[in-house]
Amino acid sequence: MVWNALLLALREIRRNVLRSCLTILGIVIGVAAVIVMVTLGGGDTAQVTAKIASLGTNLLMVRPGQRMGFGQMSTAAQFDLADAEAVEREIRSVLAISPASTAPTTAVFGNRNWSTSVTGIDNRYFGVRNWTLASGREFTDSELRAGSSVCIVGATVRKELFGAQDPLDNKLRLEKLSCTVIGLLQAKGQSTMGSDQDDLVLMPLRAFQRRIAGNQDIGLIQVSVRDGASTEQVKQDIEDLLRTRRHIAPSEDDDFQVLDMKEITQMLAGTTQVLTALLGAVAAVSLLVGGIGIMNIMLVSVTERTREIGIRLAIGALEREVLMQFLVEAVVLASFGGLTGIVLALAASVVLADLMSIPFVFNPGIVVLAFLFSAIVGVVFGFFPARTAARLDPIEALRHE
């Protein structure tokens, strides 16, 4: 019975191709919207997660100043090396720290120059940031102690200044300081915030402090926490320690900031979730409207085919057989809409993911769900017209013109 109803439905839909296509448009758009949004959302989340993992989820960043609003930092005293050492020494569960200080600079090589930033570090930086060299070597102890004029460049700086040329052992100029390139960092790409992580020059912290900054300040202490330890606890400990060291009265706010990568992850994930929920609501409305469209057309179809229904009933079709025929037709229509939506959505997702340079993450769950949902829309909105058809009086229906 269902098989016959299916054949009948397909034939009926083929007879009204244009009308059927227009009818299912709402469902197509609804389903496509849901899948595109979930697929792109999934790709974005995967990318963010991967980037944060590359940064290390057990990483804390300690900066002087407080965030005042969008991009604004209040000015406050910088840290010094002793603060960094104290964090490492006095707080349990700290695996490693990396003191660093950064300044904007212009790097010059030959007749090329490039606006970038220079960061003074020591070798702990590579471990804490989970970063390796593509070629060359890290700083030697004597270079670090002496503050030698040597540097390691990021992939972007290398590309802009050296082009295809090997940067190792060449001298580049930072402001008035000439320093020898001893290493090249592995490319990392964009950060989660969209900035280019490879656009930097690294040099020994002491060299930076003496020759570039002219002070002993530390602008950033990166702290990696031992696996299994609570980053919240470490964060709290760092805050307590630094408040003491910086003589902040209990009534005053912190004049520094401890950023937790987990928080950043959650914050980003939260944004995606809000967006997902919002678009999901839009999709739901679209499916509802699509369902009403199907109901409308099915009612028209029942009226148009009243005579046919009369014939079927007179010949001996049972109510449920007529009901089934129209219900199956509505479900087939809606499912076609669902399938079309799925195909369109996957095609669009591949293209959009490429344009937005995020990975295409196929989510079979949502595809199945969207298809089932479209079929359910067919059942729900097809039921009323189908019941109307099934309950027709055969005598009246046969008289219908």
Partner 1 sequence: MSDTHANTPLIELQGVTKVYGRGAAAMQALRGVDLRIDAGEFVAVMGPSGSGKSTCLNILGCLDTPTAGTYRFGGVEVGGLSRNQRAELRRHYLGFVFQGFNLLNRTTALENVELPLLYRGIHLAERHRLAREALTAVGLAEWATHTPGELSGGQQQRVAIARAIVTAPDVLFADEPTGNLDSARSREIMELLTRFNRERGLTIVMVTHEADMAAFASRSVRFVDGRVAADTRSTEAA
Site residues (vs partner 1, CB under 8 A): 1, 4, 15, 307-308, 310-321, 394-395, 398
SS3 226: coil
Please say whether the beta carbons of 64 and 79 come within 8 A: yes
Please identify, using beta-carbon distances, which residue of 25 and 317 lies nearer to partner 1: 317
Which residues contact residue 141 at a Cβ distance below 8 angstroms, ignoring those fewer than 6 apart? none
CB of 25 to partner 1, least distance (A): 25
Q: On the CB side of 41, how many CA atoms lie within 13 Å of its CA? A: 21
User: 287 — phi, psi (to 5°)?
Assistant: -65, -40
CB of 6 to partner 1, least distance (A): 13
Please, which residues bridge with residue 24 across strands?
none
Please identify, using beta-carbon distances, which residue of 173 and 400 lies nearer to partner 1: 400
- Between vectors from CA 119 to CA 116 and to CA 124, what angle results, nearest 5°? 140
Please identify, using beta-carbon distances, which residue of 4 and 178 lies nearer to partner 1: 4
Which residues contact residue 122 at a Cβ distance below 8 angstroms, ignoring those fewer than 6 apart? 98, 99, 139, 144, 204, 205
Cβ neighbours, 10 Å, residue 136: 17
CB of 12 to partner 1, least distance (A): 10
Cβ neighbours, 10 Å, residue 226: 14
CB of 344 to partner 1, least distance (A): 31
Please say whether the beta carbons of 370 and 34 come within 8 A: yes
Q: Which helix (H) or strand (E) holds 296?
A: helix 261-304
Distance (Å, rounded) from C-alpha 133 to C-alpha 131? 7
Please identify, using beta-carbon distances, which residue of 206 and 312 lies nearer to partner 1: 312
CB of 388 to partner 1, least distance (A): 15
Please identify, using beta-carbon distances, which residue of 145 and 307 lies nearer to partner 1: 307
CB of 33 to partner 1, least distance (A): 36
CB of 395 to partner 1, least distance (A): 5
Please identify, using beta-carbon distances, which residue of 1 and 134 lies nearer to partner 1: 1
SS3 88: helix
Cβ neighbours, 10 Å, residue 47: 19
SS3 319: helix
Please identify, using beta-carbon distances, which residue of 12 and 260 lies nearer to partner 1: 12
Please say whether the beta carbons of 33 and 344 come within 8 A: no
Residue among 181, 161, 163, 182 nearest 171 (CA): 181
Please say whether the beta carbons of 332 and 9 come within 8 A: yes
Which residues contact residue 217 at a Cβ distance below 8 angstroms, ignoring those fewer than 6 apart? 78, 79, 80, 101, 209
CB of 319 to partner 1, least distance (A): 6
Rg of the chain over Cα atoms, rounded to whole angstroms, equals 33
Please identify, using beta-carbon distances, which residue of 64 and 310 lies nearer to partner 1: 310
CB of 326 to partner 1, least distance (A): 15
Please identify, using beta-carbon distances, which residue of 53 and 314 lies nearer to partner 1: 314
Please identify, using beta-carbon distances, which residue of 250 and 316 lies nearer to partner 1: 316
Please identify, using beta-carbon distances, which residue of 82 and 395 lies nearer to partner 1: 395
CB of 298 to partner 1, least distance (A): 18
SS3 401: coil
CB of 370 to partner 1, least distance (A): 33
